[in-house]
A and B are shown apart, each in its own frame.
Chain A
Amino acid sequence: MLGRPAGVPGRVGGGLREVRGQVGGFYAAVVVRGFRRYATYRTATAAGVFTNSVFGLIVSYSYIALWDQRPHLGGYSQAQALTYVWVGQALLMTMALMGGGFEDELMERIRSGDIAVDLYRPADLQGWWLSADLGRSAFHLLGRGVLPMVCGALVFDLALPSDAVTWLLFLVAVALGAVVSFAVRFLVALSAFWLLDGAGVSQIAWLAGLFFSGMLLPLTVFPGVLGEVARALPWAAMLQVPADVLLGRHRGAGVLTALAFQACWGVVLLAAGRLLQSVAARRVVVQGG
């Protein structure tokens, strides 16, 4: 965080690069703190791992019954369908599909007026919360994702890839999905500027997320137009796309198309969040003085 020692002037270009480096370091530090903040609660994480595993078990058995009746439903073999279940359990918290991310906190700050202080800070509001939430996502992927997946692999035959490239691409897809997930929830949180109590919007948003991410049933199983629409919406970037990347359903350039789909939604939604933020900031009135 420390810059060049005072009194040692650098060239202008070098100085700019340095400032940029500092800014990058600052947000990286927020990411790390976001990770460590959630890593503090060990018992809660263990309880969560257990709950994820129980849900994974229950859903797996219902999928087995379904795929027994209709093998290759949605283009998945039974092993692939079961893998999908456990990827879902691993990403449920990572993508904050049922809430539990930063949005409650931000909404509370907007409601209480603390947001006025935040807007004064020399850090960008969206950048700050994005960094903190990515840190949380990373922790939840490791802390809440790995063990349930191991549990699933022990109980059932899963179709996990053996090559490192697929796993790497999966991680990229997860990272992009986490950005899209953040961007959606940032928009939701900003609604508190107008509604004050954002609980309703928040709930409707995670409902949509739960349904359209493919958490309940793979989007490839959704019938007809519903399936086509669901696969084009941003929520598909959070679970369906990463799962399909891991299952190797995209071949060659298809993977890039899938990742580009996620990146596009990420950029569009982040830009929308920025726009809404600037509109909302103009609404802030600080009382008193």
Chain B
Amino acid sequence: MAEAAERWERAGSGPGADRWDRRPGPAETLRVYGLIVRMWVRSTMAYRMSFVMTALGNFAATALDFATILLMFSRITVLGGFTLPEVAFLYGTTSTAFGVADLLMGSMDRLGRRVRDGTLDTLLLRPAPVLAQVAADRFALRRLGRITQGGLVLGWALLRVDVAWTPGKVLLVPVMLVSGAAIFCAVFVAGGAFQFLASDASELQNSVTYGGNTMLQYPPGVFARELVRGVTFVVPLAFVNWLPALHILGEPDPLGLPRWVDFLSPLVAVGCCTLAGLAWRAGLRSYRSTGS
């Protein structure tokens, strides 16, 4: 199937070749993504009561993580060297960033199912970018619940946390949220690309996405040094919130990295997205239809 599409692309002549010849640009991808998202939102709103319940459920599901932290702090005052507002700051930043990525790209883990049952072929036949179609597939508006919950905790943390705010630190907060969301989006896309190879292994990416999000809610000092190294250098989740947050909170870095590293989140995000895009392209090229 992918081969056929490529042949179309390469042909570059004949009637209508103009349409197939061009690689979809980012603008086209975004436009298609928006169209599909709008359709799913309207479909969700057909069962309004169910939407309200699932959005509340999504809010509450995320809140459970914070409830765990609150329950812990009902017995202690400091965890891994961090006070409750400081942990809440970590929690709020990663939850909001992850929530945005989950809303935008969370459907990527359905790709494996489409590869298995052959419905991906339908997407390949449509004159629209496949990434946009897969990412917007069954767009789940209920995931606003997670963003809302993370945002509320972040708001509370910003009010309570003991920080001498400078313009630089204030600016770092939105920068880390945007970069963090982009890094998580890249992980979702890379996970999707991996499902071209192992269509059954969609749960594997949960360990990086949901697992990573859980990990980033706790101070880095809590974890074994190798684990922190892993999420700094291998899957650079530490740039979502740990490193910039350590700078804002004025806490020492357990790995002892130079302080300018704390500001690298946007660069790391761009790098992650580029790599994920390449992985996606390679995955799509390697796709062979089940033929059913």
For the complex formed, measure the closest distance between the CB of B110 and the CB atoms of chain A, giving whole angstroms. 14
Q: How far is the CA of A200 from the CA of B60 in the complex (A)?
A: 12
Cβ–Cβ contact B207 & A65, under 8 A: no
A195 and B204 CA atoms in complex are apart in Å by 33
Query: What count of chain B residues pass the 8 Å CB interface test?
Result: 38
Nearest CB of chain A from residue B71's CB, rounded to whole Å:
5
Distance in Å: Cβ of A191 to nearest Cβ of chain B: 11
| B-side contacts of A199, CB under 8 Å | 50, 53-54
B171 at interface, CB cutoff 8 A: no
- Does B53 contact A201, Cβ atoms closer than 8 Å? yes
| Residue A64 interfacial (CB < 8 Å) | yes
Q: How far is the CA of A61 from the CA of B68 in the complex (A)?
A: 14
| Further contacts, 19 of them, CB under 8 A, given A61-B222, A199-B53, A207-B60 | A47-B200, A51-B203, A51-B207, A58-B214, A61-B223, A61-B224, A62-B218, A64-B222, A199-B50, A200-B53, A203-B54, A203-B58, A203-B61, A204-B57, A204-B60, A207-B57, A211-B64, A216-B65, A223-B74
With A203-B54, A207-B60, A207-B64: A69-B79 Cβ-Cβ less than 8 Å: yes
User: Which residues in chain B, 26-81, are within 8 Å of chain A measured between CB atoms?
Assistant: 47, 49-50, 52-54, 57-58, 60-61, 64-65, 67-68, 71-72, 74-76, 78-80
Q: Could you list 14 A-B pairs, sorted by A, with CB under 8 Å?
A: A43-B201, A55-B207, A55-B211, A58-B214, A58-B218, A62-B222, A65-B218, A66-B72, A70-B76, A197-B50, A199-B54, A200-B52, A204-B53, A211-B64
Q: Mark A185-212, 1 if CB is under 8 A from B, else 0.
A: 0000000000101011101100100110
Residues of A within 8 A of B200 (CB): 41-44, 47
B232 at the interface (CB under 8 A from A): no
For the residues of B in contact with A, the DSSP-based class is helix
> With A43-B198, A200-B54 in contact, is A216–B67 under 8 Å at CB?
yes
